[in-house]
Amino acid sequence: MPSLPAADSAADKTRLFLIAFVLVLVAEFIGNINVPLGPAKIVLLPLLWALLMGAAIGLASRRLPAGVRVGTELQRVAAGILQPALLLFIAKLGLLVGGSLPKIAASGLGLLFQEFGHFFGTMVFGLPVALLLGIKRQAIGATFSVGREPSLAIIGERFGMQSPEGQGVLAEYLTGTVFGAVFIAVLAGFITSLNVFDPLALAMGAGVGSGGMMAAAAGSIAAQQTPEVAKEVAAFAAASNLITTTIGTYFTLFLSLPFTIWAYKVLEPLIGRTTRASVQPELDATATSAAAHETPVLGLPTQLLVWGLVGVFALFGNWINYKTSPVDPMVLGGMGVIVGVVVAGYALYLATARKLPAVVWVSLVGMLLTYPGFPGAAQIAAMTGKINFLALATPILAFAGLSIAKDVPAFRRLGWRIVVVSFAANAGTFLGATLIAQFFMHKPPV
């Protein structure tokens, strides 16, 4: 894995954090905007404004003054900041899950079996669309999962990134990076506004295995609920995402990928078409290499700085939209607990030789602290409850937006058909899990 580029001076990185902070403030001041759409509506959240404004700055970087320019190397740094920043969001959700574990456990088979919707929904929805559009074996890589980093590794090892399957998974990866959070937020908000599904079933559907997409989807669902139900939505989405993250690699490797290969062999002769998309030009090695899309690794001191600064950004966002003073001792204490959970979870991640993802350890520490019966659980829940989980999502999506432009050149080579397929696959993982969760919850539509 590459280290942080030496060319990026401390001044450049400071400028990047300042730009992100301004994006957070502007996005939070804009707030939630409801867009009517027939009998339903789409809810545009601050996290979406932050992502879109960040993407616009990156795309227009060459035309902007030097002070606000975010070039390719700084975009890579922004991408490197995402993973440690996301741990703060995971910590907050873990703290929510701990207090809700009895209710989550009561959901029983719903939480367990909805994972089949996540892992097969991509193929069920995406593969037929791909074949009808004339995409051939690229469809396997594009539709066997939501195409995040573990999927790149699985396809790269099995087929090679130069293969049609490799091109497909890369296309899904890039589409998810550029459009994933926006698409899933709009879709989840629209489906929620129809009042067809139980909010907790929708929350389980939001746990797609991508932290950014989960944050966007859960936020859109929670924004349409009462404050109490919104907390439960966040907890159930986090529990679902934790399961998806923990078993996802094995599930996709041993079940989803073999099943998608089999389904392709069965369906392609029946509904496959031959179009100009059937023979896609080979992408160059830079575009198809998984290494080309790796993000810089941040050292521990830099990660500590990220956790502290993103925590401060979230405090100001929380102040703007949720009216909690950033200097209130309870609020500061709550953020201190969240950062402490991240540090403790990351220490366990290092102590166990990185055998489990850091998100798992951070989640477990957070759940332990607020689990009923743990000493001080009620006080910890009260302190961290002062900080809304959406306030933590906004700065994360700001950095995501600032990192997007670097992937656009490779993305343009892939064509509009693969974007449609990716949207179908992402819709499939959300809707498939939601449908199964709704069935097992044995509840009528709200």
3-class DSSP assignment, residue 425? helix
Tell me the pTM.
0.77
Tokens of 185: 């937020």
216-225, 280-289, 372-381: least confident range: 280-289
Please tell me the predicted confidence (pLDDT) of residue 2.
Answer: 44
413 pLDDT band (50/70/90 cuts)?
Answer: low
Tokens of 161: 């990134």
Please tell me the predicted confidence (pLDDT) of residue 411.
Answer: 64
pLDDT in tens, 246-258: 676 668 878 888 9
pLDDT in tens, 123-150: 899 999 999 988 888 889 889 888 666 6
Written as one string, the DSSP assignment of 301-325 is HHHHHHHHHHHHHHHHHHHHHH---
Residue 416's domain comprises 12-274+285-441
CA-to-CA distance for 143 and 248, rounded, in angstroms? 15
Distance of CA 239 to the CA centre of its chain: 14
Count: domains in the chain: 1
The answer to whether 107 and 236 are in contact (CB under 8 A) is yes
Helix count (H) and strand count (E) of the chain? 20, 2
CA distances from 186 to 33, 177, 213, 344, 427 (A): 12, 15, 11, 34, 11
* pLDDT tops 60 at residue 396: yes
Beta pairing partners, 34: 43
Please tell me the predicted confidence (pLDDT) of residue 290.
Answer: 46
Q: Position 225: which residue type?
A: Q
pLDDT in tens, 49-65: 998 999 999 999 889 99
Answer yes or no: is 7 within a domain. Answer: no
Answer yes or no: is 32 within a domain. Answer: yes
Higher pLDDT, 411 or 136: 136
Average pLDDT across the chain, whole number: 84
Answer yes or no: is 118 within a domain. Answer: yes
Please tell me the predicted confidence (pLDDT) of residue 60.
Answer: 92
Please tell me the predicted confidence (pLDDT) of residue 287.
Answer: 45
* pLDDT tops 60 at residue 268: yes
Answer yes or no: is 6 within a domain. Answer: no
CA-to-CA distance for 18 and 288, rounded, in angstroms? 33
Q: Which residue from 98, 15, 190, 59 is spatially nearest to 381, judged by alpha carbons?
A: 98
What is the SS3 assignment for 264-286? HHHHHHHHCCCCHHHCCCCCCHH
pLDDT in tens, 224-240: 999 889 989 998 998 88
Answer yes or no: is 2 within a domain. Answer: no
Please tell me the predicted confidence (pLDDT) of residue 284.
Answer: 46
* For helices 109-132 and 416-441, angle between their N-to-C axes, nearest 10 degrees: 150
Answer yes or no: is 26 within a domain. Answer: yes
pLDDT in tens, 336-365: 999 999 999 999 999 999 887 788 899 899
Answer yes or no: is 446 within a domain. Answer: no
30-39, 342-351, 408-417: least confident range: 408-417
* pLDDT tops 60 at residue 372: yes
Tokens of 230: 């919104």
Q: Which phi and psi angles does 324 have, rounded to 5°?
A: -115, 125
* pLDDT tops 80 at residue 286: no
Answer yes or no: is 1 within a domain. Answer: no
